[in-house]
Chains A and B, each alone.
Chain A
Amino acid sequence: MSNPSGLVPDFPSVSVAADKARRLRTLTLALRALLFVAIVLLAAGPWLFDLNQLTLLTEFFTLLVLALMWNLLAGYADIVTVGQHGFVGVGAYAFFGLVVLAGLDPFLSIILAAVITTILAGPALLFILRLRLAYLAVGTWVLADVLSLIAGKLPGFGGGSGVSLPILVARAFGASVSQRVVTLYILTFILAAAALAATWLLLRSRVGLGLTAMRDSEEGAKSAGVDVPRMRVICFLWTAPFLGLAGALVTLQKVRVAPSASFSITDWTIFIIFVVVIGGIGSFEGPIIGTALFLLLREYLADFGAWYLILLGAVSIAVILIEPRGLWGVWRRFFPIDIIPVSHRSPESSDRTNPTKALPLEPSRPQRAETGENV
C-alpha cells in the first residue's frame, strides 16, 4: 500500500524509481502552484467574496493560527497544553483594557495585547516547567482556569457576564458593518500569514531542527545534543504573542469580552486539539487541512449539537490509534512529499543525492551557540 508504484518490490529498477521520483516532483510542484494560487485568491478576498464568506474565512484564519500554535507546542515541543484558551483570553482582555479603559489607539492596542500576553507567558513558564510531562496537560488547564476566573473579577470588564466593545472602538475598524468585516478579514489574513511564515521560519531554523528531532525521539534528540528544556521555552514564548493577537482579533469578531467567550475552552482548545489531531499532528500541513475540514464539516453538522462533538472525539481517538500522523499522514503514505518544505531532507528518502544534507543534527556546542542568533 505504501508503495503504489512498486509492482516489483524486490527489484525496483532504476527507471521505475526515477519515474516515481519524477512523478512525485511533478505532484509537489502542482500542489505548490495550487497553494500559491489559493494564497493569491485569499489575499484578494475582499474583492472576490461576499460578507458571509469573508466572515467564515476570518474564522478559518483565526482557528488556523491557534491550530498552528498548538501543533508547534504539542506536536514538536511535547508541551501538550489543554490551557491554550488561557492566553487567547489574556489577549482579548488586554486588548479591551488597552483600547477601552486606557483609551489607546485600537491598532496599537492589538500589538500591545500580544506584548502583554508574551510577558504573562514568563511566569506561566515557571509553573509549567515544574510540571513533568504527564502533569503538564492538566497543569496548563488549571492555569487557564485561574486566568479566566481572575478575568471575571477584574473591575471594568463587566465581571462574570462580560461587557460589549463600545461602538466608537468598533468604528475605528470601519464605519459600517461591511467595512468592519473587510477590515477584520484583512487583519486575520495578515495574522494567519505571519503565523504561517513565523512557524515555517522557526521550523527551518536550527531550533526547528532540534524540535523536529524532539518530535521524532526526545531521547535521540538529547543524545544528539539538543537542549530540550531550552527548546521548550523558546517554543512556548514563540506561540504566546500569536495567541494574544488571536485573542485581540477574536474580541473584534465577537464585539465583546466575557470570561466564558474569551476564555472558551471548547472554541480555543478542544476544537483546536481535534483540528490538529485529525489533520495531522507534528506536520506543517496537518493543521491547515484540519482547520479547513473542521469548518467544512461544521457547516453541515452544526445542527447535530452534541453528536457533532461525539463524532469529533471518536474520530480523533480512531486517528490516534490507526494513523497518529492524521490525514496528512495517510496522504503521505501514498505520496511522500512536503508541499511546504520544513525538513532539510530531499523529499524522496531513496534519493539522497547529498548525504550531508540529510544529517538532521549538528554536534551540541555549535548548535547551541547558533541557536541564539536564530532566535
Chain B
Amino acid sequence: MALELINQMIQGALIGGLYVLFAIGLSLSLGVMRFVNIAHGDLIVLASFILMSFSAILGLSPFIVAALLMPVAFVAFYALQRLLLQRLVGTNLLGVILVTFGLAIVIQNGLLQTYGPDTRKLSGGALELKSISIGGGLSIGLYPLLVFATAVVVIFALDRFLYRTSIGSRIRAVADDPAAANLIGLPSAKIYGIAMGVVGLTVMSAACCMSVWTNFDPEIGPSRLLIAFEVVVLGGLGSLWGTLVGGVIIGVAQNLGAQLDAAWQILAQHLVFLVILFLRPQGLFPRGPRT
C-alpha cells in the first residue's frame, strides 16, 4: 500500500512535467502581457489536432512533425497577438478576457465540427513502452521521464532567453513598464508579438507531449487551462522555476486523489490549489519586484 502510494506520487510528479509545459506559456503571457489567455488550453488542443493531421498526411512521427511546425506556431501566435490581441492592449482587461473567451469557444466548436467528438491519441512508437527500473519493484516510463526533462529544458532555455539575451531584456522592460519602454524607443507592439510567438513554441511542445501521453478530444481545452492556471498561481507569477514546483504539486495531488475515484482526481487538484492560495496568495516562489 505504501509502495503503491509512493509509486503514485512518482507518477504524479512526472505528469507534473506535462502540466509545467501547459503552464509555461500562460505564465509568460501573464508576466509580459498581463492578461490571462482564456483560450490557452484550447490552443494546446488545437495544436494537438493539427499535429495529428500533419502526422497522418506526412506519415511522420509526431515528434518530427512538432519540430517542423515550430516556426509555424511562432508565426501564428505572433500574428494572433499583432492582429487581434494588440488591439486591446491599453484598454482594460475586460476586452482581452472576453475576446480570448470568444476565441476559446470558436476553437472548441470549430474542432468539434471538423474532427467530431471522438477521443484521440497519437502514437509515440517504441519510446512509449520502454521503462526504467528504479529499485524496490518500482519502475518509471521512459517517455514520462523525457517529458519531465523537456519541461526542465524549456524552463532553463526560457530563463536564459529572458535574462541573458538582449531581446529577453527588452521583453522584460516592456513587461515592467510598457509606457517607459515606449519612451526609450522600444517597439512594444512588436515585442509583445515576439513574446507571444515564444508562447506559441511552448504551446506546440505542450501539444506534442500531451497528444502522445494522454487522450484528447475537442472539449478538454478548459480543463487544461485550469491546470495551467493553477500551476502558474501556485508557482508565483513571474517565477519560471516556481512553475516546476507548482506542476509537480498539482500532478501529485491529482494522482493521489485518483486513488479514490475520477471526480476526486480533479477535486484534489482544485482543493490543493485553493488551500495553498488561501495560505500564500502570492504563490510559493513570488518574484520580488515583478509580482
* Interfacial residues, chain A to chain B (CB-CB below 8 A): 74, 78, 80, 82, 126-127, 130-131, 133-135, 137-139, 141-143, 145-146, 149-150, 152-153, 160, 218, 265, 270, 273-274, 277, 281, 305-307, 309-310, 312-314, 316-317, 320-321, 324
Contacts and interface: CB of A to CB of B under 8 A. Distances in A.
B273 interface: yes
B267 A133 contact: no
Contacts of B105: 270, 309-310, 312-313
A316 B98 CA distance: 8
Contacts of A316: 98, 101-102
B270 A78 contact: no
Contacts of B133: none
Contacts of B281: 130-131
Contacts of A82: 38, 101
B93 A80 contact: yes
Given A74-B94, A135-B229, 15 more contacts: A127-B274, A134-B36, A141-B226, A145-B226, A149-B270, A218-B92, A270-B105, A277-B102, A281-B98, A306-B110, A309-B109, A313-B103, A314-B102, A317-B102, A317-B106
Contacts of B87: 321
B230 A142 contact: yes
B84 to A, nearest CB: 8
Contacts of A309: 105-106, 108-109
B225 interface: yes
Contacts of B109: 306-307, 309-310, 313
B93 A313 contact: no
Contacts of A281: 94, 98
A138 to B, nearest CB: 4
Nearest to A137: B97
Contacts of B270: 142, 145-146, 149
B278 A127 contact: yes
Contacts of B152: none
B113 interface: yes
Interface of B: 30, 34-36, 38, 84, 87-88, 91-95, 97-99, 101-106, 108-110, 112-113, 222, 225-226, 229-230, 233, 263, 266-267, 270-271, 273-274, 277-278, 281
B226 A142 contact: yes
B113 A310 contact: yes
A327 to B, nearest CB: 15
B221 to A, nearest CB: 12
Contacts of A150: 267
Contacts of A314: 102, 106
A316 B281 CA distance: 33
B112 A134 contact: no
A152 B263 CA distance: 8
Contact of B110 (A74, A134, A310, A321): A310
Contacts of A273: 98, 101
Nearest to A317: B102
Contacts of B225: 138
A126 B102 contact: no
A80 B233 CA distance: 18
Contacts of B233: 131, 135, 139
A309 B103 CA distance: 11
B38 A142 contact: no
A142 B102 CA distance: 19
A141 B229 CA distance: 11
Nearest to B267: A149
A135 B226 CA distance: 11
B277 A127 contact: yes
Contacts of B36: 134-135, 137-138
B101 A134 contact: no
Question: For A138, A146, A153, A281, which residue has the most chain B Cβ atoms within 10 angstroms?
Answer: A138
Given A134-B35, A138-B38, A310-B109, A317 B274 contact: no
Nearest to A217: B92
A205 to B, nearest CB: 23
A145 B227 CA distance: 12
Nearest to B114: A306
Contact of B278 (A130, A142, A265): A130
Contacts of B35: 134
A142 B278 CA distance: 14
B103 A146 contact: no
